[in-house]
Amino acid sequence: MHISQLSGKTAISYARWSSGRQALGSSSARQTKIAAEYAAKAKMVLDGSIVDDGVSAFTGDNLEAGLGKFLDSVRSGQVPSDVVLLIENMDRFSRRNPMDALPTFLEVLKTGLIIVTLQDEMIHSDERYRENPMLLVPSLVSMQLAHDESLKKSIRLKGSWADRVKKIAAGERIPISKVPFWIDRKTQGFNNRVDDAREIFRLAAEGHGASAITRAINLKGIPSSLGGTWCRSMIQDVLKSKEAYGTLVIRGHEQPDYYPPIVSETVWLAIRNNARKQRRNPQAATDANLFPRLLKCGQCGSPMNVTTTSSWGKRYRYAACTGRTTSRNDCGAGNWPYDLLEEKFVGHLGAILATPDEPMSLTAEVSERDTLLTRLEALEVRKQNAIQSSIEAETADVQRAFREAADGFSRQIAAMRLQLAELAEAAASEVNSAARSLDIAAALDEAQTLRESDRPRLRGMVAAVVDAVTLEPYHRNDINVAVVSLRGRQRPFNLVFE
């Protein structure tokens, strides 16, 4: 495949680095620049980028992060398979052993995705390697070199960390790259954020939970450790940090009295014990919410959590916007009565699962298939004519021209056959998906019973079919709507509360 054949295609750039130091350096700018330059040179449309910041390709973590999500989108058809992925070189894709990396590499090429390594301007495609498998050798060599380099670095790094731990255990102080936000990296003493950290631990010592602390800290305008607003998980990480009572934890080794403490170990343990009690609270049980990580605020898009309150001996559950409850934004959406949502959802499960998809699929697929078959027949005729003309040609130049034309028709025919195969796979997938939905629908006939007797099972069933539940702002004594988005369906279901 030549660069001219990429003209007009859509390109996505992928940049990756495994350390923050590389991000601060030239790695990000360099990878972005060469991708833009190549796209312009090939006359492609650069339509976005994927960045894996601080993600290792040696461990394969990038295949679970941004790159992995993109490849999953290509496999599922959410992203067209004829896009071109631009990467600096093979080690950005993977630094694993070639025996582990190559199957993934070839599998994604089979979808129709084209990968271009920009350093050598090599175009990698399934069609190219099928025509000449020996062209894989340079790619294998690149994978092996990248793996060997990372393996050597890993061995050296392990030795380096072992030396550091020995020095720390012997009482020496060494440079630490990642320190708590209240510690100065150079002096390893307090910086000007220590009072912010003390406030977090003061609130925790008074018995406030992570959510309440998050809200209080955000209301006071105290910036997070990253400079923005706080979220609950960030507060939890601070409260779990043993550096709060002065202990450095490095590669499993704990060195006491390394940092100046902001609380005593006794206070820290009491805070941790209180956090565990809050997690064991039956009101916060994991099966209390049938929609974990599925509820979204219809006003600001933030996740919604289920909270429980008690009044006059009765317990009430509400779905609350985390953007509002943690004061991360100025969302004014009120709480949703959770029990009302759950009862309505379970009662209408059959109608939700029977939601028809957008009425385009079968007609559109048949039409596209017929069009492809017609074009395929025409190309077969043109190919045979070119072959016959090359046989009858009187000069070598004319013969070569007709052979090249026949080769071009062969490539187009192969591409169309791949498209036909993809259409067939999509149709089969749709049938299988419909069958799975029917199976789930049959199982969920007992949803009302499971709601009382086996909530974890019902929660798993809901997660299998529901992608998101967006709750529009709730108004008491008025019509309210919950928009239920289903996995594999384009059309959502509007659950109306009158």
Q: Which residue has the higher pLDDT, 432 or 105?
A: 105
Q: Cα separation of 174 and 164, whole Å?
A: 7
Mean per-residue pLDDT, 39-48 = 86
- Residue-wise pLDDT for 117-141, tens only, equals 887 888 888 888 888 888 878 777 7
Q: What average pLDDT is seen over the chain?
A: 77
HSE of 436, CA atoms in CB hemisphere, 13 A: 13
Q: One-letter amino acid identity for 335?
A: N
If pLDDT is split at 50, 70 and 90, which confidence band does 260 have?
very high
CA angle 234/238/243 to nearest 5° reads 150
Which residue type sits at 150?
S
3-class DSSP state for residue 38? helix
Q: What is the DSSP string of 385-450?
A: HHHHHHHH-SSHHHHHHHHHHHHHHHHHHHHHHHHHHHHHHHHHHHHHHHHHHHHHHHHGGGHHHH
CATH architecture of 3-149: 3-Layer(aba) Sandwich (3.40)
Give the lowest-confidence range in 219-223, 289-293, 356-360. Answer: 356-360
Q: Which tokens go with 463?
A: 């997660």
Rounded distance between C-alpha atoms, residue 294 and residue 463, angstroms: 8
CATH topology of domain 361-445: Methane Monooxygenase Hydroxylase; Chain G, domain 1 (1.20.58)
How far is 176 from 275, CA to CA, in rounded Å? 29
Q: Evaluate whether 135 touches 129 at the Cβ level (below 8 Å).
A: yes
Question: Average pLDDT for residues 235-255, to the nearest whole number?
Answer: 86
- pLDDT level of residue 201 (50, 70, 90 thresholds): very high
Structure tokens at 91: 């080690």
- CATH class for the domain made up of 194-280: alpha beta
Dihedral angle computed from the Cα positions of residues 79, 82, 85 and 86, in that order, rounded to the nearest 10 degrees: -140
What does 234-276 look like in DSSP terms, one character per residue? HHHHHHH-GGGGT-EEETTEEETTSS--SS-HHHHHHHHHHHH
Find the range with the poorest average confidence among 263-277, 381-395, 431-445: 431-445
Return the half-sphere exposure (C-beta side, CA atoms, 13 A cut-off) of residue 462.
27
- The predicted-structure confidence for 362-382, as pLDDT tens digits, reads as follows 334 445 666 666 677 777 777
228 close to 222: Cβ distance less than 8 angstroms: no
Work out whether the CA dihedral 101, 102, 105, 108 comes out positive or negative.
negative
The confidence score (pLDDT) of residue 251 equals 67
Token reading at 62:
């990038």
Look at residue 442 in the predicted model and tell me its pLDDT: 52
Which of 13-17, 46-50, 291-295, 399-403 has the weakest average pLDDT? 399-403
Q: What is the CA radius of gyration of the chain?
A: 29
Reduced to 3 states (helix: H, G, I; strand: E, B; else coil), residue 337 is strand
Q: Could you tell me which residue, 199 or 15, shows the higher pLDDT?
A: 199
* Nearest CA-CA partner of 213 in 227, 196, 188, 193: 196
CB 490 within 8 A of CB 364: no
Token pair recorded at residue 409? 């028709």
The tokens describing 184, both together, are 């100065």
User: What's the CA gap between 199 and 212, in Å, rounded?
Assistant: 13
Contacts of 90 (CB under 8 A, 6+ apart): 117, 139, 142, 143, 146
From CA 176, how far away is CA 136, in angstroms rounded?
43
Burial 110-145 (b: 16+ CB within 10 A, else e): ebbbbbbbbeeebbbbbebbeeeeeebeebeebbee
Domain map (residue ranges) of the chain: 3-149, 194-280, 361-445
Contacting residues for 143 by C-beta, under 8 A, at least 6 apart: 90, 91, 94, 96, 98, 101, 102, 105
Instruction: Tell me if 156 sits within 8 A of 58, measured CB to CB.
Output: no
Instruction: Name the percent of the chain lying above pLDDT 70.
Output: 76
Could you report the per-residue pLDDT of 436-495, keeping only the tens digit for each? 444 455 545 567 777 777 777 788 778 777 888 999 988 887 888 999 988 777 788 888
pLDDT for residue 482 = 92
Q: How far apart are CA 196 and CA 186, in angstroms?
A: 20
Instruction: Give the integer Cα–Cα distance in Å for 17 and 27.
Output: 7
Q: How confident is the model at residue 311 (pLDDT cuts 50, 70, 90)?
A: low
